[in-house]
Structure 1
Amino acid sequence: MMIDLHNHTPLCNHADGSIEAYVQAAIEKKIDVFGFSDHAPMNFDEAYRMDFSQMENYEKDVLHVKETYHDQIQILLAYEVDFLDGYVDERVLKRPVDYFIGSVHFLGAWGFDNPEFIGEYRTKNIDEVWERYFAAIEAMAKSGLFDIVGHLDLIKVFNYLPKKDVRLIAKNAIKAIKKANMTIELNAAGFRKPVGEAYPSHPLMELIAEQDIPITFGSDAHTVQHIGLRQEELRLIAKAFGYKKCATFESRDRILVNF
């Protein structure tokens, strides 16, 4: 089966293409399970996410295509939620979804993956940045709020890499993810970024496989053209680390299927 659980909609204000166009593209790519997981609203960085008032219509639109195309593809409903102290909102976490992706896009007020703020990397100790990032990932896992870890090593997006071995930096976060029984996605968006590789990196995949943490797949599509892009490469990476099954979800229950 081809599973693709991380995809956006124009409601996040930085994606293009209708929900229906995404579904039709997914069908053309022979994707079996396609999840919409748009950026959840929160009272921070509002320009890059839907508003709380738009959640109901988002869910209604996704459920509409789920029904319309049910004989061609399975559509899932989800949110990608920013884990940011003081801003994780119960109004989101109470929604009746198939899964929640937990992601870290901010270290304090710094949106480290936003090109507008790339200059801040040059003012910081890069190892300390990576340590802070993976401490946030660890805290996210320990919160017990989410089902999937989004783009585990997003901090590498602009190719500012640590001097210290990333496996040492990330080991406590990986252990916390295992203890929380979360799934980690192999995310294709990194191929489109300056770092030029999937999330997570091969060294981190070593740790993930050692801990036998379930995996899943995501295009992280923000345009129709992103859907299914380099998904076969993601599957080859997973297979290279011994994986034969990946996760899908239904009403927050994880189901492992062959890929």
Structure 2
Amino acid sequence: MLTDYHNHLEKGELTLDYLKRFTDAAAERDIDHFGISEHAYHFYQTANILQNSWVNERRYYDMADYVSLFKKAWDADIDVKMSIEMDYTPGKHKEMEKFIQNYDFDYVIGSIHWVGDFGIDLAEFRREWEKRDLYATYSNYFGQVVTLAESNLFDIVGHLDLVKIFKYVPENEEFLLEQYDKATTALAQSKTCVEISTAGLRKPVGELYPDKRLLQMCFDKKIPIVLSSDAHFPEHVGADFNEAIALAKEVGYTSLMTFTKGERKEFPIG
């Protein structure tokens, strides 16, 4: 059994033809459970959740069109899960919950891309890393992982240590492990699974998300996992899954979680 639950259509169009390029790629790579999880900030319906100039320029979809696309896909017997990737936004739990409950998602991904006004994974903000306190950024980032988990709004946390994307990583290992520990302790007490994402291999950091030490803590605390590619193009669907599977097995995982309309089932890793 293989999953690829984190994928985006934003580089193309919300059309059946474009969606089918992704699902065809998933079928070719023997991915049994495949889902699209478009960024929630693209949709007009999330304007009351996340607001900043970078996001506001990229809000151009309507959820009615998104839902309609999946209905067309299901009518055409295309096997695809409907999801959303929501920017976890502190102080907006009620708004996020209302949005999530308004739609019949198979699962919901919660991710952290913003630490205050700092878009940590955006090329436009890369120079900010030299201006900001690295340890404070990491502490605040993993502090948000804690409150994301405590919200219990999300089925999956996306790219758990995305904060390392540009290779800015604290040298103090004790500090880093403390951040990992607080995050995984909170996740273990929630319903939230962790994805092993191959997207980091295509980023400056050149590593899987999460770090092996962090994933080991997840396994030790019995946090379930899924596999994801975070593909923004069809050719990246299922990319480098051999490395993700090897890491999962190396730390001790033997199974993946799957989702269908919120129902969870665990299967052996394929």
Judge same fold: TM > 0.5, yes or no.
yes
1:58 aligns with 2:66: yes
Task: State the superposition RMSD in angstroms.
Answer: 1.6
> What displacement does 1:256 show?
0.6
Q: Which shows bigger deviation, 21-30 or 41-50? A: 41-50
> What displacement does 1:163 show?
2.0
Q: Distance in 2 between matches of 1:7 and 1:249?
A: 15
> What displacement does 1:90 show?
4.5
Structure 2 CA distance for partners of 1:100 and 1:49, relative to 1, 3 Å:
farther
Aligned equivalent of 2:197 = 187
User: How many residues get paired?
Assistant: 250
> Scaled by the length of structure 2, what TM-score is found?
0.88
Q: Partner of 2:74: helix, strand, or coil?
A: helix
1:176 aligns with 2:178: no
Q: Distance in 2 between matches of 1:214 and 1:90?
A: 22
Aligned mate of 2:210, from 195, 200, 216: 200
Aligned equivalent of 1:148 = 156
Matches within 5 A, 1:105-254: 105-165=113-173, 166-254=176-264
Task: Could you tell me which runs of 5 or more consecutive residues in structure 2 were left unpaired when the two chains were aligned.
Answer: none
Structure 2 CA distance for partners of 1:69 and 1:233, relative to 1, 3 Å:
farther
> Scaled by the length of structure 1, what TM-score is found?
0.91
Aligned mate of 2:80, from 49, 71, 75: 75
Aligned equivalent of 2:26 = 26
1:92 aligns with 2:104: no
Q: Partner of 2:194: helix, strand, or coil?
A: strand
Q: Distance in 1 between matches of 2:263 and 2:60?
A: 25
Task: Could you tell me which runs of 5 or more consecutive residues in structure 1 were left unpaired when the two chains were aligned.
Answer: none
Structure 2 CA distance for partners of 1:9 and 1:91, relative to 1, 3 Å:
farther
> What displacement does 1:8 show?
0.8
Q: Which shows bigger deviation, 206-215 or 78-87? A: 78-87
